Amino acid sequence: MLKTLGLVFCGMLALGSVSASAQEITYPKKNITVIIPKNPGGGTDTSARLTLEYAKKYLPSGVIFVPENKPAGNGVTGLIEAARARPDGQTLVMTTVELAMFPHQNKSPVTYKDFTGLFAPIADPCSIVVRADSPYKTLQEFVDAAKKQPGELQVANSGTGAIYDLATINMENQLGIKLKHIPYSDGIGPAIASLVGGHVDAVITTPGAAKPQVDAGALRILGVMDSKRFALFPDVPTFNEALGAGTNTEMRAWAAFAAPAKLPEDVRSQLDAAFKAVAADPEFQEAMKKQGIVPGDMVGDDVDAMMKQDHELYGKLIAESQKAQ
């Protein structure tokens, strides 16, 4: 009797430890370096650090994540360093959508092929924002106006060749319109200030960046470039919904954890399981929402697929934009 009880007890213990070790990361023998190729305090950095904060409980005791910001050379030097690190899971990196763009612009020798995608805590769609008192109430009205006066409407973005600029080009291609690109290379903040002040007609950015102004009724989002609506603004239509089928653009500003390519399968599955648990953690989701970020849930192969898809999309867009010049 005692024996059976003991067996059952042992079994329960074993089961318990199995269910606990499902997301346990057991491979690291020393601290895991996480390269963040962006400045401390920005969106990429914040989401990376928040994720690590909730992932660290799955590490063996005595081992921690060590985030290192390496923003030199627009972050490319950090990406190169991570791509060349040994693929043993001791070095991770926070890649961004720029990894899908820079190789086509001769700005980066490394591409998505040099990395193993793990987890994308952010993938916000691009959106088009106008002033609340502007004559364009809907995306259709904006497009009609742009058709009537080609090259007249001023659309601000965060720098030529950056994602919001490419989103503008994508819009032009898909809708057959011509817009005037006004690059604000010092960031999207000044571009939004300029829109609020009425110096430009529209800004392309993520919906989160315009949230304070939209909530206050100063700005209006006309549409998001995604296949589904954005969780923070469920009333804003997608481009597809606003303009009819055939304008199914997907432009997402994402940031994703990755490891060097050729990561051993057992290391990868441990990291994937841990990140999957983080993505499902309600506390993590709450913390991300507080930062104005809609928490992403893409893990593992999905991340690889997104990286590849965007690499091809941006390759095409950038080739077209360079032909146009």
Residues within the interface to another protein (CB under 8 A): 39-42, 46, 49, 53, 68-77, 80, 105-109, 154, 159-162, 180-187, 189-190, 192-194, 196-200, 211-213, 215-218, 287, 290-292
Q: How far apart are the first and last CA of the chain?
A: 84
Tell me the closest approach of the beta carbon of residue 71 to another protein, in angstroms. 6
* Cα distance between residue 86 and residue 156, in whole Å: 41
CB of 241 to another protein, least distance (A): 27
Q: Name which of 154 and 309 has its Cβ closer to another protein.
A: 154
Quote the least distance from Cβ 27 to another protein, whole Å: 25
Token pair belonging to 237: 């239509």
Give per-residue burial for 34-66: e unless 16+ CB within 10 Å, then b: bbbbbeeeebbbbbbbbbbebbeebbeeebebe
Residue 106 CA to residue 218 CA, distance in Å, equals 39
Q: Which is nearer to another protein, 6 or 109 (CB)?
A: 109
| Of 31 and 185, CB closest to another protein | 185
What tokens does 202 get? Answer: 């529209």
Residue with smaller CB distance to another protein, 211 or 276 = 211
Residue 182, H or E segment: strand 180-183
Please say whether the dihedral angle defined by the alpha carbons of residues 217, 223, 224 and 229, taken in this order, is positive or negative: positive
Q: Which of 135/189 has CB closer to another protein?
A: 189
d(CA 66, CA 150): 50
Please state the closest distance from residue 73 (CB atom) to another protein, in A.
4
Least distance from another protein to the Cβ atom of residue 159, Å: 7
